[in-house]
Amino acid sequence: MQCVLLAAGYATRLRPLTDNMPKALLRLGDKTILEMVTDKIDEVGEAENIYIVTNEKFHTQFEEWAKTEYKGGKTVKVLNDHTTSNENRLGAIGDLKYVIDNENIDDEILVMASDNIFDFPLTDFTAKYRETGCDMICAHTIENKNDLHSMGVVELDGNGKVLSFEEKPENPKSDLGVPPFYLYKRDTLPLIDQYLAEGNNPDAPGHFIPWLIGRRDVYAYVFDAVRIDIGTPESYYDACDRLKKGILFRK
């Protein structure tokens, strides 16, 4: 299994914090957000390499982090997708293809955003993936229903099979939100090429899921734990405050 961390965005909503710093390298206490994510990945023994895909603006900072701050046991490689702005970015799915093509990956992959911190073990996610033998997403109940309008929302059957998936729905069909954590089988990788070749949306990683469920079974690992998406100054400062109070992952 290979791991791809998506870190090629420009975090415009977090400015000025991210004028000269990628949001994944912002600190929460004595750790970067990225380190909190890789700590979780390090627990997954079957994950061999971590590929961090970023852009022209921030790649040297990620490379420095990998050389000087990463203390885990995986091999970390930083890839520069050579984009320079929101206007010419490849999008999350485009960046995933970039990594697969450039590294000649022919393996199952764990795909994650680099700016979401969470309080469940990824080993539970991978165990559920092994149990089903199918591509897999994560889902959890969203308490604030207004938040469902700005994320992927999924419907599941009684066995956890994905019945429908909508990105940023106007009328959500459930209260299950989907964070950017995915496990794809080795034979799913060519479908990413097909998806993009057909001219589908390359941006948010969730756009691939409704297309995929029309072609093969996809299941969801439903977790009951806190997840924090660091996307705005408010969410970042709130996470910092919760950490100081010792309640970062308390519901």
The CATH code of the domain that includes 66 is: 3.90.550.10
Residue 73 domain flag: yes
Question: What whole-number distance in Å separates Cα of residue 187 and Cα of residue 215?
Answer: 12
For the CA atoms of 68, 47, 94, 210, the dihedral, rounded to the nearest 10 degrees, stands at: -140
Given the structure tokens 């897999």, which residue do they identify? 136
Q: Does a structural domain hold residue 250?
A: no
Which residues in 37-74 are b (16+ Cβ under 10 Å) and which e? bbebbbebeebeebbbbbbebbbebbbebbeeebeeee
At 225 the three-state DSSP class reads: coil
Q: What is the mean pLDDT of the segment spanning 31-54?
A: 96
Q: Count up the domains in the chain and report the number.
A: 1
Cα(9)–Cα(186) distance, integer angstroms: 26
- Any domain includes 207: yes
Per the listing, tokens 């970062």 go with: 248
Confidence (pLDDT) at 93:
94
Q: Do β-strands 152-156 and 176-178 pair in parallel, antiparallel, or remain unpaired?
A: antiparallel
Is it the case that residue 88 has pLDDT exceeding 90?
no
The verdict on residue 251 lying in a domain is: no
Establish if 133 belongs to a structural domain.
yes
- The answer to whether position 152 is within a domain reads yes
**pLDDT of 248 strictly over 90:** yes
C-alpha 133/C-alpha 135 separation (Å) is 7
User: For 128-139, what is the mean pLDDT?
Assistant: 97
Q: What is the pLDDT of residues 62-79, one digit of tens each?
A: 999 999 999 999 999 999
Q: Domain span at residue 225?
A: 2-244
So what's the pLDDT on residue 13?
83
| Residue 204, pLDDT score | 80
Could you tell me if residue 75 is inside a domain? yes
Pairing of strands 227-229, 2-6: unpaired
Q: What average pLDDT does range 83-104 have in this prediction?
A: 93
Q: Is residue 249 part of a domain?
A: no
203 vs 49 pLDDT, higher one: 49
- pLDDT bracket for residue 149 (50, 70, 90): very high
Phi, psi for 132 (deg, rounded to 5): -85, -30
Work out the pLDDT band at 17, boundaries 50, 70, 90.
confident
